[in-house]
Amino acid sequence: MVSRLWQLNILEESKDENYMETLWESRFALRTHRMTSSVIRELLKLTQRPEVISFAGGLPAAEYFPVERFQEACQRVLATQAHYALQYGPTEGYLPLREMIVERMARDNICVTVDNVLITSGSQQALSLIGALLINPGDHVLVEQPTYLGALQAFATYQADYVGVPTDNDGLCVDQLPAALRHGPKFMYILPNFQNPAGVTISAERRRVLIGLAQQQGVPIVEDDPYGQLRFEGDSLPPLVSVDAELAGNNGHCYTGNVIYLSTFSKTLAPGLRTAWIVASPPVIHKLVQLKQGADLHTSTFTQMITYEVAKDGFIDEHVRLLRQVYRQRRDVMLSALDRYMPPEVRWTHPTGGLFLWVHLPSEIKIRELFEEALRRNVAFVPGDAFFTVPDPPPTARLNFSCMPEDAIVEGIRRLSEAIKDLQRAAHPMIAL
């Protein structure tokens, strides 16, 4: 079992050798040469056995999907608007859904119209379209260190390079931004709230410093905010797009600023719908619409209408209140279990929302070895190195707390701490731990 991951790698490599015998590889475009599968998605395949307690995925709790509400929505849409729901639709998205997003943005004091809004097939597509819009091969993107793996994968298609800026418990270390900006990044990719993977949130003060620097130097920001609604405690902080509009004093009827804002219904309703949105300046939306026409014509009319029907009349707010309770409770259980079981050398973040926390391991731990050791005990996580743009970062792990029941969380953390202690003993055989 310990060598299972390496066996997988060997299999992949020998498969790749067979592939070389075909003519296809000679024809693959340059952009694919450095491309690999998502580490997470490959690891998830190893962790899907039912006996595994998995902290690896970023899955919402399926048992809280509002299934009845979905049933009613399907019934209503197909009874009254089937000819529209099953037909081709506009690339920009379903108008009532775009209007709903305009209203939601207004709560954060962002004045936008539907011309600022594009519906996408999940936020992953938003990241891909933004990569296509902005990245020439070799352009640098400024990212938090660690950052969201899916963004790195989306941008890889467009052959991006990276400038990394560290994060601490208050999020992006803005004191290191000026030096990083001297590399001339095309844009900054920032997750301000309950960041994936580290679970940290950028403080209000740092948000203003970040936006000030971005405006001064003309460097756009892509703000990825899938989790902002899932705050467990404390006051909401204004999104970067809102700080930008406020500082620039250009928050008119139709936002024309320096931030592209992304969010999604994947974490507040259900990811299987693949419904997300982009808010940006109209010229940016205009060009993204052209790119989306080429990419998939439009997002499923049917799932957009179902999303709208489920979310409308305040249902989504009510549902988010429920999710906040459930996820806060699971976070608390995970934090207590970490306190109880982990050896003193291990540290972790204390997220105030979202789905993830981030574990800093003692430097003698090799993270891929820990992954295998944990999997041998039927517990899984994502090795943190996948989220860095530099080689050999310090050993870290992303733990998801949203999708496992509480007793499984406790047992999983207990097993994980055993695995860590075993590796520590192996690294320091003479020290009694």
Q: Is 10 in the site for a second copy (CB under 8 A)?
A: no
Q: Is 24 in the site for a second copy (CB under 8 A)?
A: yes
Site for a second copy in 146-185 (CB under 8 A): 150, 153-154, 156-158
Q: Is 29 in the site for a second copy (CB under 8 A)?
A: yes
Q: Is 111 in the site for a second copy (CB under 8 A)?
A: no
Structure tokens at 340: 């109880």
Q: Is 192 exposed, middle or buried (0-12, 13-18, 19+ CB in 10 A)?
A: buried
Site for a second copy in 250-289 (CB under 8 A): 256, 258, 266, 270-274, 281-284, 286-287, 289
Name the β-bridge partners of 118.
278
Handedness of CA 340, 346, 352, 355 (dihedral sign): negative
Which of 23, 430, 431, 432: binder of a second copy (CB under 8 A)?
Answer: 23
Site for a second copy in 63-92 (CB under 8 A): 63, 65, 67, 70-71, 74-75, 78-79, 82-89, 91
Site for a second copy in 340-359 (CB under 8 A): none
Which of 3, 9, 14, 38: binder of a second copy (CB under 8 A)?
Answer: 38
Cβ contacts of 215 within 8 Å, gap of 6 or more: 244, 247, 248, 258
Q: How far is the CB of 262 from a second copy (least distance, A)?
A: 13
Q: Is 396 in the site for a second copy (CB under 8 A)?
A: no
For residue 194, the 8-state DSSP code is S
The count of chain residues that interact with a second copy, using the rule CB under 8 A, is 92
Site for a second copy in 184-203 (CB under 8 A): 186-187
Site for a second copy in 218-257 (CB under 8 A): 218, 220, 256
For residues 56 and 44, give the distance between their C-alpha atoms in angstroms, rounded to a whole number.
7
> What's the length of the chain?
433
Q: Is 25 in the site for a second copy (CB under 8 A)?
A: yes
Long-range contacts of 84-90 (CB under 8 A, 24+ apart): 84/301, 84/305, 85/301, 85/302, 85/305, 86/301, 86/302, 87/301, 88/297, 88/298, 88/301, 89/298, 89/301, 89/304, 90/298
For residues 158 and 181, give the distance between their C-alpha atoms in angstroms, rounded to a whole number.
21
Q: Which is nearer to a second copy, 250 or 352 (CB)?
A: 250
Q: Is 133 in the site for a second copy (CB under 8 A)?
A: yes
Q: Which is nearer to a second copy, 242 or 299 (CB)?
A: 299
Q: How far is the CB of 63 from a second copy (least distance, A)?
A: 7
CB 353 within 8 A of CB 393: no
For residue 376, the 8-state DSSP code is H
